[in-house]
Every structure is written in structure tokens, then in C-alpha cells.
Structure 1
């Protein structure tokens, strides 16, 4: 088991040369056969999660004894192990049993919901926030208005979290009443408010019958960083006024968004089928995506953004798949992810007679990973998982984590968890390779993110620098070349007006010899004062860092990278 978050290796992804380059993809978190510490060898991948910083979490099975074989890894370290109290300070003596769900917030917060075995016997669902117990089944009070005084969480069935210290929690109270509630936490992780969305037996405004239940599966609800939720509720069709033709609803906040049987805006002439099986997502701009039935038959599922833009629909051509095949399935319990820019990641199956190559994970209309075509380490990917536990996408749309099976020579059904960086290096590298520095390597600089000024999402990654050295990025509109300027051991690749310390960052490279600079495009340093980047501008960047040669202190440089903005 590699202790670092990523191992780098080449990858070939079908039909995606414009989106993922083979040199930039970063893969292999853990594979079947990898040793997981001293616990045992990995035998199977069971669940995956990732965030915007590429922090990852994987639930896996090992060949350890049966009561100790499940392990949860976070960034390569063991977070939980079945039968172990590690990571569970409360209740005292409890041991980990099974991971239900997790959320790696982009803010750094961590939510995990899992079953634990109690020292007195039996099990309980525990919801942890940043390593501390937040909710315990059968113990923690549920105090939201609308719930009987003295109630506790009798079960905790599913939870969703955002980057604003809020959680949407579904479970049971008052013994057997299903409910859905929004919890808000303070900076210390304590609950400061609870808002009940709905509860069994209560009638929501405008509904003909009381609530009968919810659909508490991972992709059936969504919560954005403004605290807005998409959530499902089912009315009681067995009482007067009820009907199975229109008893399911999807809410946005506290307002109905869709109702079973209502007309869909797109595709025209369609109606919403039962919403209990639909998958949804919601971003911070307020965009939403719907994947579900466009009639009551469940035969023709559709994938639509903001009720207007069709991404895919069963019965239509499989997008960008040679052969003219037709989509036959876009999934039930198959996740759909909506990025901050309203791009959509989804899974599709089509009617190719050769069933060894009839599925793919798509990004909008582009197949990212295609069964029987895409490869890992030169081995063909033979199986792509289709459930909400087999792939996930970071909110910014950059990192895809997936459980895949490939036909390695040593194991024709090699199971592993892999991460793909979906954003290629930006701009053009020049003036390289740089002079070798005291690390024994030539320092490099690359740009990632977006060249669109309005996105404010450009980051400079400087790697293979001198270790434990102060460093910063310099910038100019003009390229140049000066060998060993001022006695430096490297080469200056800029000319003209050169600004120092992009984004005001002067940082130590650490033991990894790295410098990461998110670029403030509204304030690039220049000798006569900071300037803003505008579309059409071209800027050149280079890292400058302290170095030593034969014990003599000097400086060194990376190569340069030039970026033209839109």
C-alpha cells in the first residue's frame, strides 16, 4: 500500500484527449493485493469519496479474519477497521462495524455515518463530525420543533453535509416516524439549530394526504453550501384523496419543485414518473440536475439540467459512441454529479451486441472511461461500477474517483480504486528544462484550473524544488532568458516588468519541495502596482527559490509557463 495520496501512472481514456491528458492523470489509491498496513491484503473495493482538494476516502475489504476485514482508508491512512475501537472515542468501548456514508467537505470538515458494535452488546448508528460523536442512535435528543418533546434519534439512516457546517439527516424519531431535518453546527461542531423538513403522519402545505415516507439513499437528496436542499417525500396513497399516480414529490428548500404526474418542461410532452427512484444533485449557483423517469413506466429515463437541458435519455443515441448505438439505461441507484459549472457526470449503458464494451462514465456528452476500451497500465478496463458506491466526482469537477476492474496479466479481474485528474495542464511550458537544483532534479511549474478570468480558478503548481527552501512565483508579460542572473544557479525566463510573489505568497517548499499558488487574477504584482488580468491577456510565470551549491547559498528557478486568458 503506497502511503501517499496518489501514485502516478500513465492512463489511456477513450475519446478524451481534449479533457484528460495521459501525463496528467493521477491514479491508483489501492488495488486488490496491496497490503493495508499490517491488517492484511486488499481483496475488494466497496465505496469511494473525494473532494476538491483530492482528499479521498475508500472503504475496502481485506483478507483479515472475517470480523476484522473491513477497513476505511483516508488519504492512505487507516481511519476505521472492523472490530477495532480506533477512531471511535465515544461511546467508550464501541468498535467499528460498517461504513454507511461519508462527506469530505472542501472546507476540511469530515462527516462519517457508520454502524458500531457496543460493549454491552448490539449495534448503533453513530454520526461523527471531525472525529467527535455528534449523533448516537437511541441516545441523542432530537429537538426540532414539530417533534414530540423528549424524542431521540431512534435511527439514523442517511446523512448529507455541506461546507457550511450543516447536515441533512434522515432517520426515525418517536419510535417509528421517519423524518428529515437540517442540523446547523457551530465552529466547535455543536448543534445550534434543528429544522424539521417533514415527518411521517404530518401533512405538508398543499398536499392532499399525510407524509408516508422518504427515500433515504445517497443520491436521492442533495445539500449545497447555502443550506438549500433537494429532498424527496412520499404521501400516503392508501387514505382518502391519495393516489399512486401523484403521491411523490421533490422539494427545493421548503417549496415543491416537481410532483409525480406533473408535466416536464423538457422533454416536451413528458410527465414526471415516480420520484422515489430519481437521482438528483444541486450546486452552489442553484443549478440542479434530475435523473429519473419521464413517465410512469420507468422505461424512458432522462437526465436533465435545470429542467431545460437534456444531457441524455434512454432511447436516444449514446453520445459520442461509435456504431450508432442507443442508450438503454442511465441508471437506478446510479449516481449523477453536478459540478460548480453545471457540468454533469453520469453512467450510461447502450445496446451494443458486444456486452464487453457497452457501458461508460460520461462527462456531459463525452465518454470518460469506457468498458472494454479504456486502459490502466496498458490493461483493459473490463468492468465499470454503476452504483452510488463505485464512483464519485469532486464538486469542482476536477477529480473523479472510481472503482474499476481491469485485466492485468497477474489478475484478469484486478479490482482497484483510482483517481483521475480531469483538468489538463494549462498554457505552454517554455524555457525548460530548468537547471538541476540541490534536490537533484530540475524544478517545474505548471498551471491547472481554468483560463477563464471569470472563473477565478488558476493555480500554479511548482514541483521538484530545493527542499525546505523559501520560494515564490514571479510574473511578467514578457518572456526572456538570462543565464545565472545575479549569481543564481538557474536561468531567469522572464524579461521586462517582472512582479514578485504572485498572490502575496512566499512559502517554504517543505520536505516535498513543492510550492502551490492559487493565483489572484484581480491583483497580479507588477513594479508599478498590481494589475488585473483581463480576457485576451498573456502572462508568463516562473518560480524562484533559494538553493545551495556545494554549501554556498544561492537561488534557482523552474522553467516558465505562459498562459493566455479568456
Structure 2
């Protein structure tokens, strides 16, 4: 049997921008499901929250059937117990986890939490805290009742809504405090950034925004900040996208801003000609690491088309739009649910849509841009039909690079399941008009970034042959189903006149398949890109009157 050899990484970087990104298919993989046994705790019963990152780690919060309701909630990391309700926290003393809020992760796997606390070490005014875990266990950043830096009058935290963490180990906290100098009420909303060192200790703090301060260009002070799970975004550059309302006219008081600069104001202009924002209350928002943004709002006028999603100032989707899926084009969107709008670093949007099919068992799904990833009543997991796609607050999550998507689904029988959605790698044989003698195939499964792709060349007409594999960004540019025919050699299927054509050496063929293994760069830009390959056998003895023979061509689309 031919020994498998390994070679240098595929020289893909020079081909990326010359290569087409084609429609992608997706793999939906079950990670955890209702009934799974968590040793020492019990069986999973209900999925409550989820998070993922570029390393494709899956965090999920579940209820279990443990009889002790003070110890039945768990957080799993890749299906293994990570934290449990009732676990002690390192600070304050004699405090335990009472319940979990959202889970936030950066690409290094650093976590931030808003935890609700119980035990004898806390009271009514100190029973929540912001914690991080940088790999050595929980560390308290700030606690309810602590002084809030940057505010007058001895303001202390009264409670927390949300936290975010970025790759710079900056933790953004939105919560409530009581600062008598603000003057908009006894409880005031504020956003504060905590900069942390590698051990989780606070090195500095910054007040990002709060009540009582107008947004940039505004006149009226902010009255409240939106505090929902997906009404706040924070990127690796430290930019903050947030929403709120002011003390001004109630018809013009909602706003959405990045670092205080408004990108949308109630009563102001929209991407839809002739229509203004009727409401920007409780928007879903996101901000990626290049500064691109997404948000939702409600337009004035026709209520059948008043829901709008905006990306970078332009319309992305509007209520009443046709469903962009083959076979569903006759249906129109009626709502986008209450789930998040997630924008990855490639500019792709993960979103939920519900349309006007009379059969309400199959009328909603989870989308990535125009691709329908999961459809209720159609998609199956382990042979069981998806009954509900959860278009709600914690229904799905996506890594910054877009290569890992988690979703909470409910299967027929009221079975909660956590799934991971990744992009499939695909290999197809290029069409030709003349069948070539040699056979080229991929023998390592679906091609994916960060893994090796193994090619096999077989069926050489020569007992011993030198083998070459050619890589091109395109097919033969003939405009038809046939390639370029060389009598006695075979039909060329790939673009051999491209300046990016690359030769990849393969092992000698000696009666068994020649197998070469090539590392694929772990570059998310490569996902969805299609490259084209074709092999060439050369008679090693140079005794055959026709010493060259081609294999078939392959189209290889890389997955995540």
C-alpha cells in the first residue's frame, strides 16, 4: 500500500481573490440533548443559554432533573460540566452561585458572567457580581454594592444587566447605580469598562456612557439605556454600540449610537425612501471587529412592511420581503422574531425569519445571509423533525469568524437539543466530454480549513509514473461543458493559462494510489471558496509513445 506523505501547505493565499465563493451547504451536528446524563448532577431537561467562539468551543446552560432546585442548573463546556448552581465563588466569602445570566466569551476562551449569588456571605444589596474566568477559575471584577469609579456622591452598583468581554480582556458592564448628581431618577443606568490583567485584576476603569449625558450631537440628556441581552455590542477595538432614549419629546427620543455618535434616531431618516423611524425601542444590535454594524427598528407607515433590519446604513431585510430560498420565493416575511441579529467579521448576518406560509408548522427558520440553515418542520436531527426553531433572546450564537454557529432547537416530542452548524466541504468531479484514463479523488473526507486534504491519483496507464497535481482558480474558460482536448493526453478541465496555476508534487505511482496530504490554512476567508485540481501522470520509463496522461478534474469547496 502506498505510504501517505505530507507536503507543504496549499499555496492558497494568491488564489483567494481570484476564486469564486459558491453557495454553501451546511452540516447540523447534535452536541447535547435533553436526557443526556451529567455525572453527579442528573439528566438535562431544558436549554437556557449558549455561547461559542473562534476556537469552536461550545458553552451551554441547562436545567437538570436534580431534585435540589438550588443545585440543578449547570453550565457545560463542550458537553462537560464546567459550573453548577450552588458552587462556591472565591469572593465574597461564604457566597455561592444562585443562578446564571448570559455567558460571554472571547477568542482565547476567557469568560465573563453576571452571576446571581446566594449563601450567608451576601444580602439583598450584594447578591450579584461580575466575574471572569481566564483559565484559573472565577475572579470577581465588581459586586453589587461596590463603589462605581467615575461617579460623584459615592455612587454604588445597584444591579447588573449585561456584561461583554473582548480579546483585549476589557469587560464592559451595563447596570444601575444611584448618583444624586445625575438628576434623571433615583436609579441611573450606566456603562463602565473594566480593563483587566492576565490574572483578572482590574487595572483601570472608564465610564463609557450613562444617564444624564447627551449622546454626541444631542441636546437632551439620556434618560435610560437599553439593557436587553442583545441591545448592546462591544468589539475588540473597544467600540461600543448601544441604544437608549432621552428626556426629550417622546416621538423623537429613541436612538442607537456607536461610541455616542448616533446612527439612527427616532423620527429621523431611514434607508427606505419616504419613511422615518417610528420606534427604535428594544432593538437587536451587533458590531463586528471591523466596525460594521447591524440594528433593527420600526418604520412609520404601512404596518405590513414596518419592521426593518439595517446593515451599515443600508437595508438588509424588511418585513414583506420575499423569502430568498429556492421554492419559498412566493412567501413573504412577517416577523424576525425576538432573537439576536449577529454580524460576523466577514460581514455575514445570522438571523431568524418567519414567513406567511399557511402551514404554520414549516413557516420559520434560521438564516445566514440568504442561506436557510434550519427550517422548522423540515430539518431533522438524529432522525427527529425540528418542531421549533428558537427565534428568541438566547436561541442562537455565532463566533466572530462565523465558522461556528450554535442553535437551540426543539424537536418533536418537546426535546431540547443544542446543535452546531458548520459549513460543509464539498468535492465534485468536473464535467468533461472525453473520459480521461487517470482517476483523481479526495480521500480525506469533506475538505475543511485547518485540516489536511488528501488527494489520491490512481489508474495510471503506466506501471511506474511521476505524478503532478495542478491547482487553478478556475475551470477551462471554454464556455461549454468540454475542456481543452489534447489527443493522446486527455481533456484539460482546469484553467491552465491562469498565471496562478500551481504545480503540487505527488509521490511516485508504482501500482498503488499515489496519495499526497496538504495542510489547508486555518483562514476563515477560505471558507466557501472553490478551487480546481487536475492530475498528470508521466511515464517514468519514457518508453510509452504517449508518455503523458491526465486524470479527471475536481472542484473543491472548503468548509469550516
Tell me which interval the TM-score lies in, with the shorter structure as reference length. 0.7 to 0.9
Alpha-carbon displacement from aligned partner over 1:273-332 (angstroms, at most 9, x marks no partner): 322221111111221112221238876111121112x3321122222252612211013x
Relative to 1, partners in 2 of residues 1:335 and 1:228: Cα closer, same or farther, differing over 3 Å? same
Whole-Å separation in 2 of the counterparts to 1:289 and 1:139 = 34
Aligned residue in 1 for 2:94:
93
Aligned residue in 2 for 1:368:
373
Alpha-carbon displacement from aligned partner over 1:246-299 (angstroms, at most 9, x marks no partner): 1111111132222111101x1222212322221111111221112221238876
Whole-Å separation in 1 of the counterparts to 2:446 and 2:416 = 32
Question: Which blocks of at least 5 consecutive residues in structure 1 are unaligned?
Answer: 1-16, 237-241, 435-443, 450-458, 464-473, 495-499, 503-515, 522-533, 541-560
Q: CA RMSD in A?
A: 3.5
SS in 1 for 2:414: strand
| Residue 126 (1) aligns with residue 129 (2) | yes
Superposition deviation, residue 46 in structure 1? 1.0
Q: What TM-score comes out, normalization by structure 1 length?
A: 0.71
Whole-Å separation in 2 of the counterparts to 1:262 and 1:204 = 15
SS in 1 for 2:269: coil
Aligned residue in 2 for 1:256:
262
Superposition deviation, residue 520 in structure 1? 12
Whole-Å separation in 2 of the counterparts to 1:413 and 1:46 = 14
- Contact 1:482–1:491 at 8 Å: present in 2 too? no
- Contact 2:73–2:99 at 8 Å: present in 1 too? yes
- Contact 2:508–2:514 at 8 Å: present in 1 too? yes
Superposition deviation, residue 481 in structure 1? 4.5
| Residue 460 (1) aligns with residue 472 (2) | no
- Contact 1:427–1:447 at 8 Å: present in 2 too? no
Whole-Å separation in 2 of the counterparts to 1:354 and 1:517 = 44
Q: From 146, 169, 172, give the equivalent of 1:168.
A: 172
**Higher Cα radius of gyration:** 2
Whole-Å separation in 2 of the counterparts to 1:352 and 1:70 = 37
| Residue 83 (1) aligns with residue 86 (2) | yes
Whole-Å separation in 2 of the counterparts to 1:319 and 1:432 = 34
Aligned residue in 1 for 2:71:
68
Alignment of 1:439-450 (within 5 A): 444=444, 447-449=447-449
Alignment of 1:320-331 (within 5 A): 320=325, 322=328, 324-331=330-337
Aligned residue in 2 for 1:221:
232
Alignment of 1:322-471 (within 5 A): 322=328, 324-331=330-337, 333-407=338-412, 412-424=413-425, 444=444, 447-449=447-449, 459-461=450-452
Count of residue pairs brought into register by the alignment: 450
Relative to 1, partners in 2 of residues 1:446 and 1:326: Cα closer, same or farther, differing over 3 Å? closer
Relative to 1, partners in 2 of residues 1:228 and 1:298: Cα closer, same or farther, differing over 3 Å? farther
Alignment of 1:484-499 (within 5 A): 492-494=514-516
| Residue 317 (1) aligns with residue 322 (2) | yes
Whole-Å separation in 2 of the counterparts to 1:378 and 1:223 = 39
Whole-Å separation in 2 of the counterparts to 1:428 and 1:394 = 32
| Residue 47 (1) aligns with residue 49 (2) | yes
Whole-Å separation in 1 of the counterparts to 2:72 and 2:557 = 51
Whole-Å separation in 2 of the counterparts to 1:303 and 1:114 = 32
Q: From 159, 166, 176, give the equivalent of 2:163.
A: 159
Alignment of 1:187-266 (within 5 A): 187-236=198-247, 242-264=248-270, 266=271
Relative to 1, partners in 2 of residues 1:519 and 1:195: Cα closer, same or farther, differing over 3 Å? closer
Relative to 1, partners in 2 of residues 1:163 and 1:297: Cα closer, same or farther, differing over 3 Å? farther
Q: From 277, 287, 304, give the equivalent of 2:310.
A: 304
Relative to 1, partners in 2 of residues 1:363 and 1:221: Cα closer, same or farther, differing over 3 Å? same
Whole-Å separation in 2 of the counterparts to 1:78 and 1:157 = 25
- Contact 1:478–1:539 at 8 Å: present in 2 too? no
Aligned residue in 1 for 2:189:
178
Relative to 1, partners in 2 of residues 1:187 and 1:562: Cα closer, same or farther, differing over 3 Å? farther
Whole-Å separation in 2 of the counterparts to 1:325 and 1:564 = 30
Q: From 508, 517, 526, give the equivalent of 1:482.
A: 508
Relative to 1, partners in 2 of residues 1:45 and 1:297: Cα closer, same or farther, differing over 3 Å? farther
Whole-Å separation in 2 of the counterparts to 1:290 and 1:417 = 26
- Contact 2:426–2:557 at 8 Å: present in 1 too? no
Whole-Å separation in 2 of the counterparts to 1:178 and 1:539 = 62
Q: Point out which structure has higher relative CO (alpha carbons under 8 A, 6+ apart).
A: 2
Relative to 1, partners in 2 of residues 1:427 and 1:132: Cα closer, same or farther, differing over 3 Å? farther
Relative to 1, partners in 2 of residues 1:101 and 1:539: Cα closer, same or farther, differing over 3 Å? farther
Whole-Å separation in 2 of the counterparts to 1:393 and 1:97 = 27
Whole-Å separation in 1 of the counterparts to 2:33 and 2:261 = 45
Alpha-carbon displacement from aligned partner over 1:461-498 (angstroms, at most 9, x marks no partner): 479xxxxxxxxxx998235443699xxxx97535xxxx
Whole-Å separation in 1 of the counterparts to 2:281 and 2:291 = 22
Whole-Å separation in 1 of the counterparts to 2:391 and 2:524 = 39
Superposition deviation, residue 121 in structure 1? 5.1
Aligned residue in 2 for 1:468:
none
